[in-house]
Amino acid sequence: MPTTTTRIVISSTDLLSSTLSVDATATLTQAGGSTAIANSTGLAVKTLASGHAEYKLFEADDYTDDKASKLYLKSPSTNAAEYFLIKLGTTQVGRLYAGDVALIPWDGTQDVMIDPSADSMALEYLLFHEG
C-alpha cells in the first residue's frame, strides 16, 4: 500500500512582532482510519484556451461521496494579476494567484470547478482519492 506524506512550511520574519515558523507534516489516509489513500489521478497540467470560461476539473459523479480526497492545485503563472477562481459546486473556495499552491480536502459531493481570469492559463493539479 502506498504512503503519501504532505508537508507545509510557513515562515516569516516580519509578518508578526516575532518570527513565524510553522512546519506541519501529515500522511494522507482514508476516511475514518489509518489506511493510506491508494489512488491518484496523477500530476497533470490543464491549459485553458481562449475565452477563459469556467471549467469542470473533477466531476463528483466520478468519485465516491464522503471519502477522504485531497486536491492539489498550483498556478505556475508568473503574472501577478492572473488567478483561478476555485469552486466546489457553486461555492467559491477562493482564488489561486500566480505561484500559489493549495491542498484542499474534498468530499466528492460537489464538482470541482476552476475559472481562469485570463486566456491560455495553465493549472497543475492532482487528486488523491479513495476508490
Question: pLDDT by residue (tens digit) across 61-120?
Answer: 999 899 999 999 999 999 999 999 999 999 999 999 999 999 999 999 999 999 999 988
The mean predicted confidence, pLDDT, of the chain is: 92
User: Domain 40-129 carries which CATH code?
Assistant: 2.60.120.10
Q: What is the DSSP letter of 36?
A: B
Q: Which residue has the higher pLDDT, 3 or 122?
A: 122
Q: How far apart, in whole angstroms, are the C-alpha atoms of residue 57 and residue 17?
A: 41
The cell for 95 is 482564488
Residue type for position 39: N
pLDDT at 24 over 80: yes
33 contacts: CB under 8 Å, gap ≥ 6 = none
Given a cut of 80, whether residue 49 has pLDDT beyond it is no
**Residue spans per domain, the chain:** 40-129
pTM for the model = 0.89
Q: 78's torsion region: left (phi>0), alpha (psi -120 to 50) or beta?
A: alpha
